[in-house]
A and B are shown apart, each in its own frame.
Chain A
Amino acid sequence: MNIKLENVKKQFGDTVAIDDISLEFHDGKLTTLLGPSGCGKSTMLNLISGILPVTSGKIYFGDRDVTSLSPDKRNIGLVFQNYALYPHMKVWENIAFPLEIKKVPKNERKERAYEFAKLLRIEEYFERKPSQLSGGQQQRVAIARALAKEPEILLLDEPLSNLDARLRLEMREEIRRIQLETGITTVFVTHDQEEAMSISDHIVLMKKGEIQQHGLPQELYDEPCNVFVADFLGNPPINLITAVKSGNKAVTEDGVSFFSEGLNNVSDGRKLILGIRSEAFEVLKKDEPGYINSTPAEVKAVFMNGKDVLYSLSVGSMEIRAGFSNNEIYRQGDKLKIALKKKGVHVYDFDTGEKIG
Chain B
Amino acid sequence: MSMTLTQGKRLAKTRSDERITARTFIEPLIYLLPFIVVVSVFMVYPIITVFLNSFLEDYNYLANTYSGFGLGNYSALFSDKEFVGALQNTFIYVGCVVPISTVLSLAIAILLNKKLRGTSIFQFAYFLPMVTATIAVGIVWKWMYHYDYGLINYFIQVLGGEPVHWMEDPIMAKAALIIYGIWGKLPFTVILFLSGLQTIDEQYYTAAKVDGAGSKKILFRITIPLLSPTIALVLIINIINTSKVFNEVFALFNGKPGPGYSLYTVVYYIYENFYHEMNVSIACAAALVLFAIVFLMTLLQTAVQKRWVSR
Contacts and interface: CB of A to CB of B under 8 A. Distances in A.
Given A86-B222, A88-B226, A88-B311, A72 B206 contact: no
A80 B217 contact: no
A313 to B, nearest CB: 48
A135 B196 CA distance: 25
Contacts of A78: 206-207, 210
A71 B311 contact: no
Nearest to B211: A98
B217 A87 contact: no
Given A86-B204, A129-B310, A71 B226 contact: no
Contacts of A70: 209
A101 B213 contact: yes
B260 interface: no
Contacts of B211: 72, 97-98, 101, 149
A112 to B, nearest CB: 14
Given A87-B311, A88-B310, A129-B310, A80 B213 contact: no
Interface in B180-238: 201, 203-204, 206-214, 217, 221-222, 225-226, 228
Contacts of B225: 86, 88
B310 A84 contact: no
Interface in A241-271: none
> Which bucket holds chain A's interface residue count?
20 to 34
A84 B203 CA distance: 6
A80 B203 contact: yes
B110 to A, nearest CB: 18
Contact of B212 (A86, A87, A102): A102
A169 interface: no
Interface residues of B, number: 20
A76 interface: yes
Contacts of B213: 72, 101
Contacts of B222: 86
A253 to B, nearest CB: 51
A133 interface: no
Contact of B209 (A72, A87, A100, A149): A72
A51 B206 contact: yes
A72 B212 contact: yes
Q: Is the interface of B mostly helix, strand, loop or mixed?
A: helix
Contacts of B221: 86, 97, 100
Given A101-B217, A129-B310, A84 B204 contact: yes
A23 to B, nearest CB: 22
A190 interface: no
Interface in A71-93: 71-73, 76, 78, 80, 82, 84, 86-88
A70 B210 CA distance: 8
Interface string B272-285: 00000000000000
A149 B209 CA distance: 13
A82 B210 contact: no
A277 to B, nearest CB: 40
Nearest to B205: A84
A129 B225 CA distance: 14
Contacts of A97: 208, 211, 221
A81 B256 CA distance: 62
Given A72-B212, A88-B226, A102-B212, A80 B311 contact: no
Nearest to B222: A86
**Which of B209, B211, B226, B311 has the largest number of chain A CB atoms within 10 A?**
B211
A226 interface: no
Contacts of A80: 203, 206-207
A92 to B, nearest CB: 14
Contacts of A82: 201, 203
B212 A98 contact: yes
A82 B201 CA distance: 10
Contact of A84 (B206, B212, B217, B311): B206
Contacts of A100: 221
A80 B212 CA distance: 16
Nearest to B309: A88
Interface string A99-134: 011100000000000000000000000000100000
A204 B225 CA distance: 40
B311 to A, nearest CB: 6
Contacts of B208: 97, 101
A114 to B, nearest CB: 19
A142 to B, nearest CB: 9
A87 B210 contact: no
Nearest to A70: B209
Interface in B291-311: 310-311
Given A87-B226, A88-B226, A101-B217, A72 B203 contact: no
A72 B310 contact: no
A116 to B, nearest CB: 14
Interface string B153-188: 000000000000000000000000000000000000
A71 B209 contact: yes
A185 interface: no
Interface of A: 49-51, 70-73, 76, 78, 80, 82, 84, 86-88, 97-98, 100-102, 129, 149
13 contacts: A71-B209, A72-B211, A73-B212, A78-B210, A80-B207, A84-B207, A86-B204, A88-B310, A97-B208, A98-B211, A101-B211, A101-B213, A149-B211
Given A49-B210, A71-B209, A72-B212, 10 more contacts: A50-B210, A51-B206, A72-B211, A84-B201, A86-B221, A88-B225, A88-B226, A97-B208, A101-B213, A102-B212
By Cβ-Cβ distance, the 3 closest A-B pairs, closest first, are A72-B212, A84-B203, A98-B211
